[in-house]
Amino acid sequence: TAFGAPLARGTMTGDLRIEGQPEPEPSQEIPASVRSVSPDYLETMRIPVVRGRPILASDDAGGPQVALINEEMARRAFPGEDPVGRRIGVTADFGYGAEEYWEVVGIVGDTRSRSVTEEPVPEMYVPHGRYGPGFVWVTVRSSAEAPVSLAAIREQVRALDPDLPIRDFEQVREAVSRQVAPTRFYMLLIGLFAGLALLLAAVGIYGVLSYLVSTRTREIGVRVALGADRGRIVRLTVLEGLAPALLGLGAGIVAALVGARVMESLLFGVAPRDPLVLIGIPIVLLAVALVAVAIPSFRAARIDPALALRAE
């Protein structure tokens, strides 16, 4: 359980304070998201503890006020230092009777808690039993291969407490789909326009090469009359037609490598220099160009030298 979950509402935010350090300038403030969680929340969400210890059941009952921080907060608030054992607080008053400072007992991995397209932000986790409000988000991860239906989860909750009010259910993949839906729509439009542009480029290559073959009918006829192999005629016209495409592909790959860092923040689940993308797309474009030049090339190889010379 937790007050809030990744990609859902429920985090509390305040400016970070470190015990023993003066308040930073406004421009140097570090906004910190605070999430109260149960001891098994990290395991359920597969958030690793990279240093220190996790939140324990005994932390809910009493003892020192403890907290976990994520790697992003450790990098920004404690550069080059070990934050475990330090005491931190936030400026916001959450009204749960918490002391001003929490002792950092561990560091956990970063998560995209706000949006799948945003970089991780500084976060801290505190025991839910001590600071949590009267409502919670329950996170369920099934070990079964088949997905568990929401109806089955609802029945389990009702079995625990029939009077417990339930606001809503949502699967993580549904939350992800909801957030990326606008991006998917734009990518679909871009893909459609890109496909149309690819088709127009193929038609253009075909038209230009067909025109070049028609203007060189006499030359091709002379080559054939002098004994030129028809396979050589095909290779000649194919290479001449592919030369602009190869130059364009080379320039495009260079531009993609240079612009990868600019696009990195807009990508999710794809590396800016993904080998599959950098190799697959040029292969597709080259195949389209090859098909576009193949028809005029084979047509040129079938030219009758007698008819070609008589026409000239």
Using an 8 Å Cβ cutoff, are 85 and 69 in contact? no
Q: Is 188 left (phi over 0), alpha (psi -120 to 50) or beta?
A: alpha
| Residue 97 pLDDT | 45
Q: Please enumerate, as own/partner, the contacts of 60-64 that have beta carbons within 8 Å and a separation of 24 or more.
A: 60/127, 60/128, 60/129, 60/130, 61/129, 64/103
Q: What's the pLDDT at 147?
A: 63
Query: How close are the terminal C-alpha atoms of the chain, in Å?
Result: 86
Q: Which two tokens stand for residue 11?
A: 């985090």
Nearest 10 degrees: CA dihedral of 103, 107, 113, 119? 120
CA distance 15 to 90: 5
* 3-state DSSP assignment of residue 64: coil
Residue owning tokens 């549904």: 174
The pLDDT value recorded for residue 278 is 79
Please list the pLDDT of the chain residue by residue as tens digits (312 residues): 667 666 766 567 888 999 988 888 888 899 888 888 888 888 888 889 999 999 998 887 677 889 999 999 999 999 989 999 999 988 876 554 445 788 999 999 998 877 777 788 899 998 887 765 566 767 777 766 656 667 777 787 778 777 777 766 777 777 777 777 888 888 889 889 988 988 887 788 778 777 777 777 777 777 777 777 778 878 887 887 788 888 888 888 888 888 777 776 666 666 667 777 778 888 888 888 888 788 777 877 777 766 666 655
Helix (H) or strand (E) holding 106, with range, is strand 102-108
C-alpha–C-alpha distance, residues 261 and 64, integer Å:
44
Burial 215-233 (b: 16+ CB within 10 A, else e): ebbeebbebbeeebeeeeb
